A and B are shown apart, each in its own frame.
Chain A
Amino acid sequence: MLESLGKLVQESGFAQILLSEDGWKALAMVLIACGLLYLGIKKQYEPLLMVGIAFGCLLANVSVLGGFENALYHQELWNNFLDSTSEFYHSYGYILSHGGLIDILYIGVKAGIYPCLIFIGIGAMTDFGPLISNPKSLLLGAAAQFGVFFAFFGATLLGFNGNEAASIGIIGGADGPTAILTTTKLAPHLLGPIAVAAYSYMALIPMIQPPIMKALTTEKERSVKMEQLREVTKTEKILFPIVVTIFVVLLLPSTAPLIGCLMFGNLLNETGLTGRLSDVAQNALMNIVTLFLGLSVGATMVGSNFLNLRTIYIVVLGLVAFSFSTIGGLLVGKLMYKLSGGKINPLIGSAGVSAVPMAARVSQREGQKANPSNFLLMHAMGPNVAGVIGSAIAAGFLMSVFGG
């Protein structure tokens, strides 16, 4: 009886915190997970994903204290999966036969399925009308990828290798699924910190962007009222996803998963004949995938990967990436203001950082502060959705160069 009780106590997670070598790391990760849950629930930082990520982290680190058999996520299995000298190199069968619940869910991340499915949902929810009516918005979407490459260079300076630097840089694309897909392909060991940084900063856009917008633009520039956009025909809206898919994927084949899925989702919405599929993509599919993605990405935040100086570097570089993307968009916005004779409000440039529709709302709000009768939202939606395409192209470039 006493022997059984002793065994039970010794095997408990509480005892493992003190007895096992990595016990304190797991405990620290549990505390970090609680902090992230606070940010997601109380501060409402991207709660749909942050709550999942935080709980995945909590679950993985609590369960790992119960021993290998009871763990829901096994870092060792994935190390073997990625090790080219291991007999289990790229063996999903090995993961399925030995893995826990989150290992199996994580296959969807590893195979790049979840980010693409989320892109179908995003495509179905996105109206590209403002971009079609003002194609110059694409320049702002391109300019706002500046932070991606600035942070990439900064990460190299700090000693990250090419694959890691590329994954850190893509945080500046302000696009969660794109960051997750790129990191999964190039530097899977950094997935946890990169996903947390990407989603945290996306939630913090209303705080990060306004000071930069005010610093780089004058009151006169911010108060510019833009002309009404032309109406876009239904045929144009149907042609757009088809043309973009053909053109961009032929130009950069590595963008096929992201651009293809984004445009497929959009086509479902625009045809007017596939409403049921569009509805599933926007709601049921999106919610299910968000659930799996959050849990499995959070589970990768295990102590041995997360608790190091590199995580702090990633968090700082993520902020640098977001800020410089905003700066890039604003500077080209200012250039367009000058070239158009003051017809374009440079504030719409900052919306080029993707993060739909949060960044466009920030442009609208700042524009209205300068001129209460200013309505920039639809004008900012053009660069905003152009940013989604721009970040997908940036990710495609990085995956093509560093993907082996």
Chain B
Amino acid sequence: MQLVSLTSTTIQGEMLGLGDAFLKAILGYAVVFIGLILLMVVIIIVGKIMVASTKRKAAAEEKAAPVETVKAAPEAPKKTAPGSAGECKLYDTDPKVAAMIMAIVADQMGKPLNELRFKSIKEVK
């Protein structure tokens, strides 16, 4: 590292040749790509393990379910509003805010609310 004092400031660093700069730029871009591709592979593997384990759990629960149904009375289906297309899953969203969002979407699209189906609403952080 060379320290050169110029005018009133201290400037660190060395001048680069164009060839050297070009190679460093290519190498840097390649390192970013390789790093993120490897990370992608790791995330995909972890994801696959998690999905497989979730499926295994679900299968185990399914197997265990008939035993439970003998003991417990079957749950009554949840009542939904007339014309409803089912439940809407809310993630980090207050039901009042969700109702407001659904009303705004219906208004913007110019369609009655009972003709729309909202699967889930999630707050983007």
Contacts and interface: CB of A to CB of B under 8 A. Distances in A.
Nearest to A356: B125
A228 B50 CA distance: 19
Contact of A186 (B3, B8, B12, B46): B12
A225 B42 CA distance: 27
B50 A138 contact: no
A218 interface: no
B35 A393 contact: yes
A388 to B, nearest CB: 11
A252 B124 contact: no
Nearest to B29: A149
Given A83-B5, A146-B29, A251 B38 contact: yes
B43 A135 contact: yes
Secondary structure at chain B's binding surface: helix, strand, loop or mixed?
A: helix
A58 interface: no
B22 interface: yes
Contacts of A378: 122, 124
A139 B37 contact: yes
Contacts of B24: 152, 162, 401
Interface residues of B, number: 42
Contact of B125 (A85, A125, A390): A125
A106 B65 CA distance: 63
Interface in B1-36: 1, 3, 5, 7-16, 18, 21-22, 24-29, 31-33, 35-36
Contacts of B9: 75, 79, 189, 304-305
Interface string A123-155: 001110001110110110111011011101100
B11 A152 contact: no
Contacts of A195: none
Contact of B26 (A83, A149, A377): A149
Interface string B75-108: 0000000000000000000000000000000000
23 contacts: A82-B3, A82-B12, A83-B3, A83-B10, A138-B39, A142-B36, A152-B28, A156-B18, A161-B11, A161-B14, A162-B15, A162-B16, A164-B13, A188-B12, A243-B46, A252-B31, A304-B7, A304-B9, A305-B8, A357-B124, A378-B124, A389-B39, A397-B31
Instruction: Pick the 6 closest A-B CB pairs, nearest first.
Output: A163-B13, A156-B21, A161-B13, A149-B25, A404-B1, A142-B36
